[in-house]
Every structure is written in C-alpha cells, then in structure tokens.
Structure 1
Amino acid sequence: MTAPFRFPRFFVTSPSPCPYLPGRQERKVFTELNGPHAAELNDALGRIGFRRSQGVAYRPSCAGCAACVSVRVVARDWIANATQRKLMRRHADLEVTACRPWATDEQYRLLRRYLASRHPGGGMAGMDEDDYADMIEHSPVNSFVLEYREPAQGGRRGRLVGACLTDRQADGLSMIYSFFAADEGRRPGLGNFIIMDHITRARDAGLPYVYLGYWVKGSERMAYKTRYRPMEVLGAAGWRPLSETESQLEPRRRELA
C-alpha cells in the first residue's frame, strides 16, 4: 500500500520592492517540492500559475495588485509571423543540444555577460558560481538545459551563445530561465529564437503548451511575451485566450530587441 499524497504546506514571503513596477511591493506564496510526488505536485501547481525555483514552487500574492499574469503558448496552433520566420532562418545554423542539468563554467561565463548587458544591478547580479550551480542542479523534477552553439570550426566545439533551463511537465515545457549572448550584434533576436525553438520542440513532442512565466502588465521588459500567438492567460475563471486588444495596451519593444 502506498503512502497517501500529503497536501503541501504554503508560506508567504515578507513584502519587498517590486522589480517590475516602481513604487509597488511584491509578495509570494510558496511551497517546497520534495518527496516522491514532487513532479506531480509541480505539474498541478504549474497549471494554476506557480513557477519553480530549485526545490520551491511559488506564485505572486501581492496585496492590491494583480499585474503578474501567468501565460502559456498553445504550441500546436502557433504560426510564426514574418519577423519570427526571419529570426528562425537567421539562427538556423545553431546547434542545439539537450544536456542534463549540470552547471558548467562556460554557461556561467555566458550568464555573467548576459546579466551585465541586460540586467545590471538586478536581483541576480550578485550570483556566483555556487548560486548558479544551485539554480541548475537542484531540481526535484524532470529538467534539462538546452545549449545553443555556433557551428563547430576546425574540429573545435562551437561557441556557446545561449542556454535555457527547462522543465518537462505533463502538459508542456516550462522555460525556467534563459540567457544568451546579448552584448553582441552578431545574434540579434536570439532570446526570441530560444522561445520559438521551445515551441517547436513542444509541438514535435506532442506537448500542448510552452509556459513563459509571468506577463507583467505595464512592464515594458515583459511585453515581448505577448508576441507568440495563440497565447493563453490565467485568470480567476481559469485559462483563456489573450486577445490582440489586451496585448496592444502594453508597451512594446522593437520586434528584434
């Protein structure tokens, strides 16, 4: 006889400054992912808007604010637009490898360049090698790292230009954290390509969704997530399609940013 499934215990963090909307406070509700049912619990929580960080599942629980909205791409119905097709052709030479979740020095150096270019002074700016190893390796669920490399030359392994820590859930791929060579002009749109590669992989594997985390209304940094259609957002009544009108209310960056 197997042990009964235990309902998880949830905790709430203390309020802290919101990293996306100035002048607001953020708070999270979280629970631990451990034991033999960690994967099933993570799948169930993912469907109601939780995200994973190492051995913890969390979601925003901010007083008086509901700007953070869980979003997922419907992989089977996604059709690339003209700009996205151009990006896919531009980066078609990249060699993509699914690796076990094991941190490497090469990945860490790329992460440091990415943070310095895109998120200087952000919450991850002080991440050292041990912190990075914890983020990659401490996973109680089915996780892997996708590495994106330029073609090999002269028998040498190609340069690492992108990576993404990804969870395979029962109903899709969840992109936990991606980073790439953002400090160079050689690979514009690489972050968008990584998302499109995940959508293609999910569709090929028969998985219905790619989870992109939270779309933060009013945050220009998060506006890129609405480019992938059809997209669903999680509301009080469950998942529903994101309308074109809704997304147009948000600030937009250049398509190739």
Structure 2
Amino acid sequence: MSALAGKTALVTGASRGIGRYTAQRLARDGARVAVHYGANEQAAKDTVASIEAEGGSAFLLRADLAAPHAAEALWAEFDKHADGVDILVNNAGVVVYGRVNEVVEEDFDRLFAVNVKAPLFLIQHGLRRLRDGGRIINLSSAGAYLASPMATMYTMTKGAINTLTLTLAWELGDREITVNAVAPGFTDTDMNSWFADPAAKAWAASQGVRGRVGRPDDIGDIVAFLASDDARWINGQVIDATGSGALGVTPMAG
C-alpha cells in the first residue's frame, strides 16, 4: 500500500521547482494533491497533468498569496474539492535581492505577505480542516542562519518561519499534528535566477561538500518523508537540507 494512500495534501507554489516535485512525489506516494499556483496557470496544469499521467490524483487552486485575505480565499476554493486535509506544505515564496540600503517598503511588504503572513493564516484557517495526526511542513532556508547581505529581507522571512514552526509544534502537539521546516541551501530553481551565470553556479556548487547545488528532488524527498508516518516522532525541527550540514559556513544561501 502507498505510504500516503487516502491522504489529501495541499502544496503551495506547486507549479514549478521544489513545489512541483513535492506535489508529484506526494501523489506518487498515494496522496490526492491540491496544486496551488499564483500566476502561471499553464505550469500548474502541467504539474497536474504529470501527476495524472502516473496514475495520481490532483486538482488546481489559484490564489495570489500577496493579496489581502488570500488564505481564506484559497481554502474556500479547496473546500469545493475536498472535505479535509492531512498534509499542508507551505512552499510558496518570493525573493528580492539587494543590500540593506536598497530595500524598499513595497518589496518588504510583498515578501512578508507571501513568505510569512500567508503560511501563518493558511495554517490558522486550515486547522479546522486539518485532521488529527496531520502534517504541516514549512519551507525555510539555510539563509536564515547565515549572513546573506544580498538577501536580507528574504532571510528575515525565513527566520520568522523557523519561529512559527517551533511554536506551532508545541501548540498542536495534543492533536498529534507535527510541524517541521526544511531549510534548503543553494538549490537549482527559478528563484535562484543568478544560476544562469555558469561561474556563479559553479561558485555555489563549490560551497558544499558534494560539489553540486541541490535539485528539487533533493528537497521534495525530505518533505515527503516528513509527511509520512515514518516521521511521526519528528516535531518542531528545522531540517538542514544543504547537502553538507554546513549551516553557518556559506556567506549566502537560498
């Protein structure tokens, strides 16, 4: 029997990158997956199609997580397709690069809306839908532990996610709901657009012991483990997913 047979999962930001692979992996493990996207409908449809091509089950949800009351709107759409959820993966995130003197309020507000406010209220409004014994998995970043001058705002949001994870793990423990976070290092996704420069990508690869940057499957497989019953005794943790255990060594990460 598939590890997640009979479970329903919601993965935010599932149209590409880590979110897409995570949605595919959870579906492969037997879950029915709500594939959330913000703007790229075709990419999200491609995610659903890839799941269905392998015999899995998925459906689309659209919501702009930077908009007011986005969490309520997303769950309202979710309720049209399912009567409860077992796994919530807060993966959606945005990044704006720039040093502290380059920070502008509009970017700050958008980053905190998508990266912090949305996960918090998705959890809040999802609690009555989340079944006992469920899983909440938040995407953090190794950058939350590092000095990353070019990504100050982004790493601040991930520090907030780490605090949220620990606090909710205590608060929801009586329902046997586990809350954990996964903190990738350099990972080859659209978010790290600077990897388009081969020299920059080679530098990033040189920062870890494996000699390469991470792939979406490196991270998504960890999420899938945390979603499974095998991870039932892991709670309130931020899992280092840098491939090297080198938190605090690299000067920047994302």
TM-score (structure 2 length as normaliser): 0.29
Relative contact order, higher structure (CA 8 A, sep 6+): 1
Q: Which has the larger radius of gyration?
A: 1
**Higher helix fraction (1 or 2):** 2
**Higher strand fraction (1 or 2):** 1
TM-score (structure 1 length as normaliser): 0.29
